[in-house]
Amino acid sequence: MKITAKQKKGIKMSNRDFFDGKTVLVTGGTGSFGKKIVGRLLAAHNPKKVIIYSRDELKQFEMKCSDEFKNAAKLRFFIGDVRDYPRLKMSFHNVDYVIHAAALKQVPACEYNPFEAVKTNIIGAENVITAAIENNVDRVIALSTDKAANPVNLYGATKLCADKLFIAGNSYAGGERTRFGVVRYGNVVGSRGSVIPLFKKLRNTGVLPITDERMTRFWITLEHTVDFVIECFRIMAGGELFVPKIPSMKLIDLARAIAPECRHSVVGIRPGEKLHEVLITKDDARRTFETKDMYIVKPDFDWCGKKDFPGAKKVKEDFIYSSDNNPEWLTVEQLRKMVE
């Protein structure tokens, strides 16, 4: 499998040996992020094996037959659900690194099926933690969301709980080698559930629905999320919550970028939705450090020993990282280039 120019962009040479000879398992590996990071691991690194762990056999079959992965000799596919601990524990045997991307993440679906969200996002997180410790997995990174900071919907609440579980997993690991970290970021351009396909679909109607003209969101590309997660694997000590520095955008600017000829119909904020999203709360500021490219929220307890990150400095006590107070913004033209 050849590495493309896009994949080369942003890859740090210091990362290139980190996955060499390692077995990596990705829960929810058939999702947008899963496929992107699996492609990167196989193209830019030299792992011993990459395992997809997910519950949808059709998505696995389609991924296996795709042009990108059909000749990937190091790729394995395991059918399983993170709710199923015995299967998860079996799958983690001889695994070095785990990327936990499996989740129920559609806000309306989680609101309508709350117990299902709890089973997957919370109980599933507990199962991943326990299976990793029992199998002496070296490092685990779980993917979080901006909706987990000061949550107002069930999806965000379950992900906040999962974040807390993964951070505390370092305590449960005790003297074992397993270490856990969390990566939290905002809306991903073009991922499943993105508003972009909806706006493109409605472009021909001449009208785009806008929840609120003031609404803002953090914005990140899939390529950036993959680069960031790989970097966090390299630098983590255990217990950190890593947040990338990413731009904000106005929802109305996104609509203008996709369909400048359309008028806008304000439909109001939906249940469980925020006007602005938050990645780091004021309460987390006292434990938050800033580098050139990221924020690092350190754990309350030094289970894994103190670690200093080069160039990191403590943020102000009243610091809040929200999509409306972000110093970096995307213009309409920049958004147009991204969605195209």
Instruction: Look at residue 19 and tell me whether its pLDDT is greater than 60.
Output: yes
Task: Give me the helix-helix angle, 32-44 and 222-235, nearest 10°.
Answer: 60
The phi and psi torsions of 266 (rounded to 5 degrees) equal -80, 115
Which pLDDT does position 193 carry in this prediction?
63
Two tokens, residue 258: 């996709």
Instruction: Look at residue 15 and tell me whether its pLDDT is greater than 50.
Output: no
Expressed in percent and rounded to 5, the helix, strand and coil fractions of the chain are 40, 20, 40
Q: Which is the catalytic residue, given 36, 147, 245, 298?
A: 147
The rounded distance, in Å, linking the Cα atoms of 38 and 247 is 25
Q: Is 147 among the residues known to form the active site? A: yes
The rounded distance, in Å, linking the Cα atoms of 202 and 191 is 18
**Domain limits, the chain:** 5-186+220-246+279-319
Burial class (CB in 10 A: 0-12, 13-18, 19+), 240: buried
- Give every CB contact of residue 164 below 8 A, 6+ residues apart in sequence: none
CA contacts within 13 A on the Cβ side of 85: 12
Name the one residue in this structure whose structure tokens are 């949808």: 56
Name the one residue in this structure whose structure tokens are 């001449």: 206
Q: What letter does residue 138 receive in the DSSP assignment?
A: S
The bridge status of strand 187-188 relative to strand 216-220 is parallel
Q: What letter does residue 61 receive in the DSSP assignment?
A: H
Q: 338: pLDDT confidence band, cut at 50, 70 and 90?
A: confident
Which pLDDT does position 238 carry in this prediction?
94
Which pLDDT does position 12 carry in this prediction?
44
Instruction: Look at residue 167 and tell me whether its pLDDT is greater than 80.
Output: yes
Instruction: Look at residue 263 and tell me whether its pLDDT is greater than 80.
Output: yes
The phi and psi torsions of 263 (rounded to 5 degrees) equal -90, 165
pTM score of the predicted model: 0.91
Q: Mean pLDDT score of the chain, rounded to an integer?
A: 91
Instruction: Look at residue 7 and tell me whether its pLDDT is greater than 90.
Output: no
pLDDT greater at residue 266 or residue 306:
266
Read out DSSP for 155-181?
HHHHHHHHHHHHHHHHHHHTTSS-EEE
The rounded distance, in Å, linking the Cα atoms of 148 and 33 is 18
Question: Could you read off the pLDDT of 52-70 as tens digits, one per residue?
Answer: 999 999 999 999 999 999 9
**Domain 5-186+220-246+279-319 belongs to what architecture?**
3-Layer(aba) Sandwich (3.40)
Question: Could you read off the pLDDT of 117-131 as tens digits, one per residue?
Answer: 999 999 999 999 999
**Coil, strand, or helix at residue 100?**
strand
